[in-house]
Amino acid sequence: MSIEIRNISKCFGNFVALDDLSLDIPTGELVALLGPSGCGKTTLLRIIAGMETPDAGSVLFGGQEATHVHARERQVGFVFQHYALFRHMSVFENVAFGLRVRPRKERPSEAEIRERVMGLLKLVQLDWLAQRYPSQLSGGQRQRIALARALAVEPKVLLLDEPFGALDTKVRKELRRWLRRLHDEMHISSVFVTHDQEEALEVADRVVVMNRGHIEQIGSPDEVYSSPASPFVYQFLGNVNVFHSRLHGAWAEVEREGEAPAAGSIAFVRPHDIELDVAPLAGGMTAGVRHVHRIGPLVRVELEHDGETIEVELTRERAASLDLPVGRTVWIKPRQAKVFATEATAPAGKQPFLF
C-alpha cells in the first residue's frame, strides 16, 4: 500500500519537530528515514503509525485519507529498537498474539494460526525456536521474532524504529541483509528509522535525509551519496574535507568544472577523492603527513596544511607503494569536489579550511 505524507507539521510546545514535511512512498518500497538525533524521524514514523497526531497536514494510505484513523485500524506492523516480546510467552505465542486478540469473528481457527505462525517462523528462519522463551534467545533472534510478530497480522505497512540499534555490529550487518531479502519477498511498503548512514545506504530503495524537522534530500542511496543536495547531506553521509573558495591551482579548476565559483563558496572533497603522491602533482599543493591510520582495507592519511587538517583515503596497495612516514611532505590534488554557493550553508561543527 502506498503512503503519502502531505504537509505534515508537529510541534511539542514551542519546539517544531516536523515542519511542513511531504513525502510519497510507493507500494512495496523500502524507505529509510535517516538523520541525526532529534531531527524528527521517530515523530514522523509515529504519525504514519497513528500513534501521534499531526498539528497540520495529512497522511494517506493507498490514496485514502488516514490522518484520523486509529492506529489499530491502520494495518501497520511496528518493530522497535528494544524488542518488546512478552517474556512469559513462548516464541510461538508471541507471534500468534496479534491473531489471538482479534475479535472472535475475525479470528482465524487454531489450525490457521498454527500454519501462519510456523510459516512466519520459517520465513525468519527460526522455526526451530518456536517453543523457547524470549530470555533464551540472542538479541538478533529476538529482533527477528519481533519482526515475525509484526508480520503475523498481515500489515499493509511495516514500520521499523532503529530495529537493529541495540545489536552489535556483526549481527546488525547480518540482519540488514536479511531484512532486505525479507522485504523483497514480502513486498510490503516499509519505512525504517536509522541514524546509521551505512545502514540506510545498504538496505533502502530510497533514503530520506532529515534535518531539524524537514527533508534535506530524497533519493536512491547512490544519489544522496554521490550528488548530495546540500552541505548538510554531504557532511552527514561520510567523511568530508571542507575548503573555502578562492582555491589555488587545480583546486580552483575542480571548482570551475563543478559549479560556478562564487565569492564565499565552500568546496567539499571526500577523502577518497584526493590524489596523493610523494612526487609533485601539477596544480597540486603540499601538505605534511601527521598520522597514518590503517582501517581494514583502507589507509587514512591525516595531513596538515597551514595548521589545518586534511584527510585522504588510499587503498592499502597505494599506501604501500608510497613511503609515508610522519612529517614527510607530500603532494595532494582533488579528483572531484562539490561546491556550494554560500558560507552560510556550512554545516555546524566543521571548520572550513581557509586558503
Q: Which residues bind ligand ATP (CB under 6 A)?
A: 12, 15, 17, 35, 37-43, 195
CA distances from 305 to 165, 210, 284, 286 (A): 38, 33, 12, 7
Q: Which residue has the cell 517453543?
A: 131
* Shortest Cβ 240–ligand ATP spacing (Å): 21
* Shortest Cβ 48–ligand ATP spacing (Å): 12
Smaller CB distance to ligand ATP: residue 38 or 108? Answer: 38
Smaller CB distance to ligand ATP: residue 4 or 161? Answer: 161
* Shortest Cβ 206–ligand ATP spacing (Å): 18
CA distances from 87 to 82, 134, 149, 254, 339 (A): 13, 6, 14, 59, 54
Bridge partners, residue 289, by sequence: 303
The amino acid occupying position 247 is L
* Shortest Cβ 22–ligand ATP spacing (Å): 17
Smaller CB distance to ligand ATP: residue 80 or 268? Answer: 80
Smaller CB distance to ligand ATP: residue 35 or 284? Answer: 35
H and E: helices and strands count for the chain? 10, 18
* Shortest Cβ 34–ligand ATP spacing (Å): 9
| C-alpha torsion 240→172→211→308, nearest 10 | -20
Smaller CB distance to ligand ATP: residue 37 or 135? Answer: 37
Alpha carbons 140 and 152: distance in angstroms, whole number = 19
* Shortest Cβ 7–ligand ATP spacing (Å): 17
* Shortest Cβ 218–ligand ATP spacing (Å): 16
| Percent of the chain as helix, strand, coil, to the nearest 5 | 35, 30, 35
209, 224 contact by CB (below 8 A): yes
117, 127 contact by CB (below 8 A): no
199, 179 contact by CB (below 8 A): no
- Give the contacts of 336 (CB within 8 A, at least 6 positions apart): 254, 258, 269, 273
Smaller CB distance to ligand ATP: residue 76 or 319? Answer: 76
Smaller CB distance to ligand ATP: residue 33 or 151? Answer: 33
126, 141 contact by CB (below 8 A): yes
Smaller CB distance to ligand ATP: residue 13 or 297? Answer: 13
> Which phi and psi angles does 125 have, rounded to 5°?
60, 35
* Shortest Cβ 156–ligand ATP spacing (Å): 23
